[in-house]
Amino acid sequence: MAGSQHVSEHREVLYVIACGSPLARHVGRLVDLAQQDGWEVCVVATPDGAKFVDKPALARQTGHPVRTHYKNPGDPDVLPPADAMIVCPATVNTINKWAAGIADTLALGLLVEAQGKGLPIVAVPYTNAAMAAHPAFRAGIARLTEWGVTVLFGDHVVALHPPGTGEQHLDAFPWPMPLATLGSVSWSAA
Ligand SMILES: Cc1cc2nc3c(=O)[nH]c(=O)nc-3n(C[C@H](O)[C@H](O)[C@H](O)COP(=O)(O)O)c2cc1C
């Protein structure tokens, strides 16, 4: 199975985290590929990501509710614990906040915690050329990479598009790439 170098008696759980980009509309493609690869998949959307995804369809596809907000104190966990995470699409906003250790969305809280646990994480930013030019974004990618997160970013993944044209490039997105990359990320969890 992709993403694993250890023996497990249960199906490994992949969290697919979708941020606020039109690419999130197609995240079911990644879910489908991951399920074909043997993963049990749960989808988490940021509050802005939730505006793009089809939550009922993804819940049917995964068998798990799509979570967006932190649970209330005392409420049970509704998702199984993650063995690995793919953040796709990752927004500039979420990359920047994650690199600063901010955990003010469920998605960020899960990522900050997963990093501390040493789980394999692959992040795939999707944004336009202007937003991608911000120095904080470049610094955030560098910091996350330095800390062991695999960030897929650059023309070999997806070419940066002019502002306002993101919708036109969705079909060109290489959905197998994050999953294939996760398969080569070494397992460093305790
Ligand atoms: C129609 C629309 C499309 C957007 N597309 C992107 C995008 O592709 N990449 C990106 O980084 N931000 C994009 N944004 C901006 C983010 O949605 C915004 O920064 C938001 O705060 C991200 O929140 P999140 O990181 O919690 O998902 C878009 C916003 C809108 C309204």
Nearest-5° Cα angle at 94, 40 to 34 = 20
| CATH assignment at residue 29 | 3.40.50.1950
User: Backbone phi, then psi, for 69, in 5-degree steps?
Assistant: -110, 155
Number of domains composing the chain = 1
Each residue's pLDDT tens digit, 16-40:
999 999 999 999 999 999 999 999 9
**Domain residues for 45?**
13-71+79-181
Q: Is position 1 within any domain?
A: no
User: pTM higher than 0.95, yes or no?
Assistant: no
Q: Whose CA is nearest to atom 11 of ligand 1?
A: 91
| Cα dihedral value 74, 79, 81, 85, nearest 10 | -130
pLDDT band of 14, cuts 50, 70, 90: very high
Which of 68, 71, 131, 67 lies closest to 95, judged by CA? 131
Ligand 1 atom closest to the CA of 18, numbered from 1: 27
Q: Is position 103 within any domain?
A: yes
Q: Is position 186 within any domain?
A: no
Q: How far is the CA of 186 from the centre of ligand 1 (A)?
A: 30
Q: Is position 89 within any domain?
A: yes
Ligand 1 site, residue 21, Cβ cutoff 6 A: yes
Q: How far is the CA of 53 from the centre of ligand 1 (A)?
A: 13
State yes or no: cis peptide before 22, omega within 30 of 0: no
Q: Is position 187 within any domain?
A: no
